[in-house]
Structure 1
Amino acid sequence: MRYANEGKLKEASIQFANALKIDHNFGDAHYQLAKVYLKEGSYIPAYAELLHTVDLEPNNVQARIDLGNLLLAGHQADKALEQADAVLKLDPNNASAYSLQAGVSAYKGDHATAIQQIQHAISLKPDNAQFHTTLGLLQASDPSTATAGEDQLKKAVSLDSKDATAALALASMLERKGDLPGAQQQLQAAEAATPKNVVVRSALADVYLRQNNTAQAEQTLRQATEDLNDTDAGAGLLASYYIRTNQLPRAESDYADMVSKHPKSVPLKLAYARILVLNHDISKAKQVGDDLAKTDSSLPEVAVLNGMLLLNDGKSNDAFTLLQKAAKANPDSFAIKFWLGRAAMAKGDMNTAQQSFSDAVHMNPKNMEAQAALASVAMQNHDYSTLADVAKSAMAANPTASTPYVWQGIAEANQKYYDRAEADFNQALKLNPKDWEATAQLGQLRLIQHKLPEAQKLLEQSLADNPNNARALGLIVTAMSAQKQPIKDIIARVQQQITKAPNNAEMYSMLANLQLASGDAAGSLSSAQKALQLNPNDSGATMAYSRAEIAQGNTAQAVEKWKQWTQSHPGDARGFTILGSLQEAQGDRNGAIASYKSAIGIQPDQAMANNNLANLMIETGQNLDVALSYAQAARRALPTSPNTADTLAWVYYQKGNYESARDLLEDATKNEPNDATIHYHLGMTYAKLSRSSDATAELKKAESLAPQNSQTAKDAQKALGSIS
């Protein structure tokens, strides 16, 4: 108890655990341990200890209240209500039980009942600030009672200046009314009363930013980082801001100074290492990691850092294994869950990525990085229903953040609810006029609506707010192309942006592709090489480089580059697939087969690898049953692709199943009417089915579509001769 009162939570938990080793049925020890876990934010073990407490001490009303609040936070409203009801049977005038009931009613959407219940709680304990905060939040959600809600929040703050929730809600209300100075004043008072509260300091910095007082915002974040350098959230405050505003060089310099000033702060070192990784200064990051490994090797954060460094080296499988092991040892570590999600994403395991990010969000709903990662998975999966859910969750946790409105807008735009999407993008810009992503999304919406000049103007604004925004630049290229602007002008625009963002590998890759399209293979190769210098792990840059080499007749160089890529990225199925296709083009069938098999070993449903391998097996006279299994896997992965239909049909043809081949090929010709190979295969199939006139028509079509003297043209001519 003494350790807990002194804030030494780890020491306290050890002593409570020692007491339970002596007497596992010691109810008060379970409860005190639960309270320590709650203070640490370790909710899963806290839940277990509270269950033990209530089982051993059913009359412990405060334990039941704590358990009920935890159940409610975990979206188990009915079970939470059971705890409230149990408390009221023991103590009919327990104000906290009525407050818990109010929380359950609000969760279920019954605000009128919730207000009645919390008002009853206040009548029993009028000086409880938390109850006034709850009532204020309920009333603030309804415009007709918003003024009363503001009064309740003011009452809560007056009763308890350390009630950060009330101060934050009151500041948000004032800001929505346009009273930014009032919001600032509330947050300044809350900062003075709760100097250790990271959320308050971050919110204060955001208010300064929305008043365009960048200097004061940065000073607030810098001072908070210094003051709270012993916590992960505090040490990362300034880093998150610098990352968000693309000031990595400045971040590196500032954090180097702070680490030197606070050499014992592990959180600061970890934040510094993260910045170094993002700034591609890997050698320094590894130095920091080595130092931490010597002094703090048992910390989960060190495992996270090593995982980050492995991911940066392209060793996603090693990173995943390391972080998965760390997650088992530290199931309540937000950072490990988050980076395990990143590692899973890097290796293409989207299910594990989604689950890990969901766990991270559950542990820390207010963490926008975790919310953003979960949103990213949803976008990659084209799962816009989940994206909309993530957006709503993030809005609830961070009501003044602009990014969730961007996600909701993206979800709506992809479901063709363009008016709603536009409203959300504009709301994001209202909350943060410098939200370059919202501006870019609005620009993309204008592209969809074919309002090209307006689209280009918005995208240029997005680039002005974030010169490193390669996606906005790519959309500008699209807008300029759609307006039939000369490619030399498009290339000049990209080159102009590169002068403002000289270390952006994506922009050099973009330039390389445009130069190649213009016929400048040498310039394309030079730009691709520059992109690879900036980021050797950029697959887009590697692709641009290989295309430029092939354009100059250097297929061997392109093959060698992808061999190097697969050696340094052994878990990249796509890389092995590209290598296989290049080896195939080079005539190295054995090498291509080996590469495709490597890709399938990493990712069994890799469509292109399965499809190409099946074709090669047919061409080289290998086992048709095995070829069929690969062709079927490709078809499952891409069920509407004419290419996978053609491959599967040709395996069926080789096995004598001509009817199945015909059905697939007839559908394929409808979707891809100008593919000579598909027409050739359909002609050969018709011939086997004794449909000579149809076979002749298809083979003639194949001959006319195929390039002169190509193998398909020769095969079609030969087949026509045999039919006639």
Structure 2
Amino acid sequence: MILRSPALIAGLVALPLILGQCDSAAERAEAHYQSGMALVEDGDIDRALVEFRNVFNLDGQHREARAAYARLMRERGNLRDAYGHYLRLVEQYPEDLDGRLALGEMALASGDWEEAERHITQAQALAPEDSLVQAMLTTLEYREALVAEDGTRRTEAVQLAQATLGDETVSDSARIIARRVVINELLAGEDPQAAMPELEAALAEDPDNLEYQEVKLRLLIARGDVPAATEQFEEMYRRFPENEALRSGLIQWYISTENLEGAEAFLRQLAEGAETPDQAVAVVRFLRQTQGSDAAFAELDRLIAEGNHPETFRATRAVLNIEEGRVNEGVAELEALVEGGTASDRLRDIRLVLARVYQAQGNSVGARAQIETILAEDGSHVEALKMQAGWQIGADRPEEAIALLRRALDRAPRDVGALTLLAQAHERMGDRQLMGDRLALAMEASGQAPEQALRYARYLVSEERLTTARAALQESLRLNPQNADLMLVLGQVHLALQEWERAESMIAALQQLGTTEARAAANELRNRFLVAQGRTEESIAFLEGLIQSGEADVRAAALVVQGHLQAGRMAEAEEYLTARLAEDPSNPSLRFLMAGLQTAQGRLDDARATYVALIAEYPTDEAPVRALYQLDVQSGDAEAASATLQAALDRMPESVFLNWLRAGEMERAGDFEGAIAIYERLYEANRNNTLIANNLASLLSIHRDDDESLERAHAVAQRLRGLDMPAFQDTYGWIAYRRGRYAEALEHLEPAAAGLPESALVQYHLGMTYAALERPADARVALEHALELAGNSPLPQFLTARETLDSLPAEAD
């Protein structure tokens, strides 16, 4: 007799139903796909995309739907989503040529050479004779030749690209890729203007290519053809009216070319079509900048008389009065507006203005009262939440700031200010990865605006993620082609990556801008370029040429002296400085340099005399005070150093550096409370200074035992978590130990002790942590080393070290 499981029978019965459901799901997916394609033909792309997403919900491997969706996202300019879906496509169907080609093109455009090579190589295996594949391979070869500085390979790659352009049978995509190589080569040549015909041809094929439009603009500006550049700028704005960076760039261009009528007309045009009064206020600001306050007030009177948004324009008039020095009148008008009005979005915005005015005046109580009123009426008012979050960050309460900023982002997910503040809050918490994520989002939300791109790039550089920093800067520069700051920092990144030709292109771009600031940046980058390549003699000659032409100040002379010293040419450095001083004997900077050189030569009396004379002539200049103080310390004359410092503090009581030196003196003398008091005062005025935060937190955690001081130290030191600097690691690690978080303490104290092997206190901290973790052998080694380094130090920590050593279990045989 055969026993049949009821469950098995039920499963067999259900199997046809399951198979039927699968068939039904596949059929429904195909129906959604066909519907999506019909909508594409009708031009209804939004609904088509919804249909394709329905396909993916039913069949995640539907090849045609995935390809269509990726293509549409790419055509819309949503390259991130397009790239992701193309990746999914080729993962599921590695032989999909169109997917590989699209990925190769996008990777080339973004400068992701590793990804580009991966997909182009796969495409070559699938279709080695395809014209687009050949054009992309040429681009890779051209790039490799540039990196290898192989002129022959580079010439051959350019010739291949030119041949592609001359072949009428190749695809448009291949032509676009090849033309990019030719344009790049022409731009890097002696006459970048030779690229203009190719640029015109490229724009005839692809007029909405913003990158080529911007390159054309740069060439016109470098040519000095102001009318043509203006026409090009205006054409770009007509094509890309939503590009805020382009809009502000056009306004600045009008102003820089003294076309004030064009700027005013453009601003008024923006104001006429705007739904809010913000653009009208921009007109008022422009009139004040170019025609004076009378014109601005006249415009405000006209706008108020028209009756549209009168509260906004009255508030603007109040702020202008404050800026013109009529503070009481301006504040009175703002107060009258908020006291006499009824709650509304407009009135809350005016309260915010008043809060900012109060804050600028130092009336923090009044500012907080206005913000509290705003949030009582509207708990998700973005700007009020941001202002309150800023206060919380300043008060070392980043957790509360994060909660406020999340509320703000719920209403405005792409608010650049809120994202930037959130990054600051995460930095205070020591969460540097989250900090970087928020900075990246802020940059993206700003449309790769220069300020946000530079902030994110500097974070990336600090994390040694240079290639990502390069990509962020390149994208921002593409959208802001006249920004000298972007060019300078991007050039510095190229130097750090040893991308010499790219650095050269940034130097050339800065020179083409023609402004004083841009030329100074180009000169700075050129000198760094020569130094990075070890070309000291050329660097010195370059700097001397700048000095003789009047393009550089005494800072260049300092670099010349430094170059001689680095090459071991002390006599040449002195000869150079002596000659410069003969031309300008009273120049304080040159005399200061000479005193530094005399110190290096061991001529301490001559150096001291120079510093004393400079202090007498320039009593509020910190530089000679610092130098003289250091000279006295190195000479072993602590009393003279202290007297110099005290006299300087009497003249400059708010100097951060001089107070820093005084705190160090107090700490060495055992006056830890006095040092803490100085650091508290410095920290109150410089809460973003990581070094001050570290020193304050360190003193609080080492030399005070109460819980309140420990929590204060923890609040201040949170930002140190994750920073790869031994002193910071020691501070945070010891605070973690004091709070009973021994495993976390060990993560920070082991690298701190390795980085500061001669610090008795750091070794003591490590030893105590080992003891707490019941690792007696390690504790014994660290504590004995600490006591050896401490010698006869009277600090109580070393008494504790001896007691702990005595309490450790005896070592086994």
For the pair 1:185 / 2:228, whether they are aligned, the reply is: no
Instruction: Output the CA distance in 2 between the equivalents of 1:617 and 1:157.
Output: 60
Q: Unaligned 5+ residue runs, structure 2?
A: 1-34, 144-156, 304-308, 317-343, 558-588, 598-609, 624-641, 800-813
1:637: how far off?
A: 2.7
Pair 1:429–1:116, CA change in 2 (3 A): closer
Higher RCO structure, 1 or 2 (CA under 8 Å, sep 6+): 2
SS in 2 for 1:213: coil
- Cα displacement string for residues 39-83 of structure 1 (whole angstroms, at most 9, x for unaligned residues): 775444444566789999999999997666545546332576489
Say which of 343, 350, 363 aligns to 2:432: 350
Q: Is the Cα contact below 8 Å between 1:129 and 1:157 reproduced in 2?
A: no
Higher mean C-alpha deviation, range 649-658 or range 115-124: 649-658
- The Cα offsets for residues 421-442 of structure 1, whole Å up to 9 and x where unpaired, read as 9997796466342359949968
Matches within 5 A, 1:97-496: 102=135, 105-106=138-139, 109=143, 110-117=157-164, 119-120=166-167, 134=180, 137-138=183-184, 140-141=186-187, 143=189, 149-157=195-203, 164-192=210-238, 194-198=240-244, 200-205=246-251, 207-208=253-254, 213=258, 215=260, 219=264, 222=267, 226=271, 260=312, 311=393, 315-320=397-402, 340-357=422-439, 366-378=448-460, 380=462, 400-407=482-489, 428=510, 431=513, 432-434=515-517, 438=521, 457=554, 484=610, 486-487=614-615, 489-492=617-620
Query: Contact 1:103–1:114 at 8 Å: present in 2 too?
Result: no
Q: Which letter does structure 1 place at the counterpart of 2:398?
A: S
Local SS of the residue matching 2:236: helix
User: How many angstroms does 1:548 deviate by?
Assistant: 12
Task: Give how far 1:351 is off.
Answer: 3.3
Q: Deviations over 1:161-195 (max 9, x none)?
A: 66544432222223334445433332234334554
Distance, in Å, in 2 between the alignment partners of 1:125 and 1:288 is 58
Q: Structure 1 residues 71, 434: closer, same or farther in 2, change over 3 A? A: closer
Tell me, in whole angstroms, the C-alpha distance in 2 between the residues paired with 1:279 and 1:437: 36
- C-alpha distance in 1 between matches for 2:273 and 2:375: 19
CA distance in structure 2 between the partners assigned to 1:285 and 1:546 by the alignment: 33
Per-residue Cα deviation, 1:242-301 (whole angstroms, up to 9, x for no partner): 9xxx99x99xx99x98994899999xx99x99x9699959988997999799899699x9
- Is the contact made by 2:491 and 2:525 (CA closer than 8 Å) also made in structure 1? no
Q: Does 1:578 align with 2:716?
A: no
Which range is displaced more, 339-348 or 15-24? 15-24
Q: Which residue of 1 aligns with 2:763?
A: 648
* Alpha-carbon offset, residue 492 of structure 1: 3.9
User: 1: distance between equivalents of 2:397 and 2:273?
Assistant: 33
After TM superposition, give the deviation of residue 400 of structure 1 in Å: 4.2
Correspondence for 2:754: 639
Go from structure 1 to structure 2 and tell me whether the alpha carbon gap of 1:323 and 1:103 turns closer, same or farther (over 3 Å shift).
farther
* SS, match of residue 754 in structure 2: coil
Verify the 8 A CA contact 1:206 1:217 in the aligned structure 2. no
Deviations 1:626-658 (A, max 9, x none): 999958843513634355355416976997989
1:517 corresponds to: 645
Q: Are the counterparts in 2 of residues 137 and 149 from structure 1 also a CA contact under 8 Å? A: yes
| Residues 573-593 of structure 1: CA deviation (Å, up to 9, x unaligned) | 9748615615866x7677655
- TM-score, with structure 1 as normaliser: 0.54
Checking the alignment, whether the CA contact within 8 Å between 1:443 and 1:456 is kept in structure 2 is: no
Distance 2:368 2:707 in 1: 41
Q: C-alpha offsets along residues 460-488 of structure 1, whole Å, 9 cap, x if unaligned?
A: 9xxxxxxxxxxxxxx99997995955346
Equivalent position amino acid for 2:50 in 1: A
Aligned-partner residue type, residue 634 of structure 1: L
Preserved CA contact (<8 Å) 1:425 1:442? yes
Identity %: 13
1:77 aligns with 2:116: yes
Alignment CA distance shift 1:541-1:148 (3 Å) = same
Give 1:373 shift.
1.4
Q: Is the 8 A contact 2:453 2:472 kept in 1?
A: yes
Distance 1:59 1:411 in 2: 37
| 2:13 alignment partner in structure 1 | none
| Secondary structure in structure 2 of the residue aligned to 1:639 | helix
Amino acid at match of 1:153: L
CA distance in 2, matches of 1:309, 1:613: 24
- CA–CA distance in structure 1, aligned partners of residues 741 and 56 of structure 2: 63
- The letter of the residue matching 1:639 is A
Equivalent-residue separation in structure 2 for 1:289 and 1:186 (angstroms):
48
SS at match of 1:143: coil
Cα distance in 2, alignment partners of residues 58 and 609 from structure 1: 49
Distance (whole Å) between structure 2 residues aligned to residue 441 and residue 640 of structure 1: 33
Contact 1:608 1:634 (8 Å CA) reproduced: no
8 Å contact kept, 1:136–1:150: no
Give the alignment's Cα RMSD to 1 decimal: 7.5
Q: Distance in 2 between matches of 1:52 and 1:412?
A: 33
SS, match of residue 516 in structure 2:
coil
Alpha-carbon distance in structure 1 between the residues aligned to 2:197 and 2:393: 51
> What is the rounded CA distance, in whole Å, between the counterparts of 2:482 and 2:452 in structure 1?
17
Separation (CA, whole Å) in 2 of partners of 1:519 and 1:144:
58
One-letter identity of the residue aligned with 2:228:
G
Are the aligned partners of 1:33 and 1:49 in contact in 2 as well (CA < 8 Å)? yes
- Structure 1 gap ranges (5+): 461-474, 496-513, 532-539, 666-676, 682-701, 716-724
Question: Hey, what's the Cα distance between the residues in 1 that align with 2:272 and 2:103?
Answer: 33
User: Structure 2 CA distance, aligned partners of 1:426 and 1:162?
Assistant: 26
Cα distance change, pair 290–198 in 1 and its aligned pair in 2 (3 A): farther
Q: CA deviation at 1:524?
A: 5.0
Matched residues in 2 for 1:561 and 1:389: separation? 39
For the residue of structure 1 that corresponds to 2:489, the secondary structure is helix
Separation (CA, whole Å) in 2 of partners of 1:63 and 1:333 = 34
Closer/same/farther in 2, CA of residues 53 and 164 from structure 1, 3 Å limit: same
What whole-Å deviation, never above 9, does each CA across 1:544-583 have from its counterpart, x for those lacking one?
Answer: 99899999x99579659949979x9899997486156158
What CA distance in whole angstroms lies between the structure 2 residues aligned with 1:180 and 1:605?
51
CA distance in 2 between counterparts of 1:130 and 1:146 reads: 19
Q: Conserved in 2, the CA contact under 8 Å of 1:327 and 1:336?
A: yes
Query: 1:388 touches 1:408 (CA, 8 Å); kept in 2?
Result: yes
Following the alignment from structure 2 to structure 1, what is the Cα–Cα distance between the partners of residues 47 and 379? 19
Separation in structure 2 between the aligned mates of residue 399 and residue 136 of structure 1, nearest angstrom = 20
Distance 1:316 1:364 in 2: 24
Q: CA deviation at 1:372?
A: 0.6
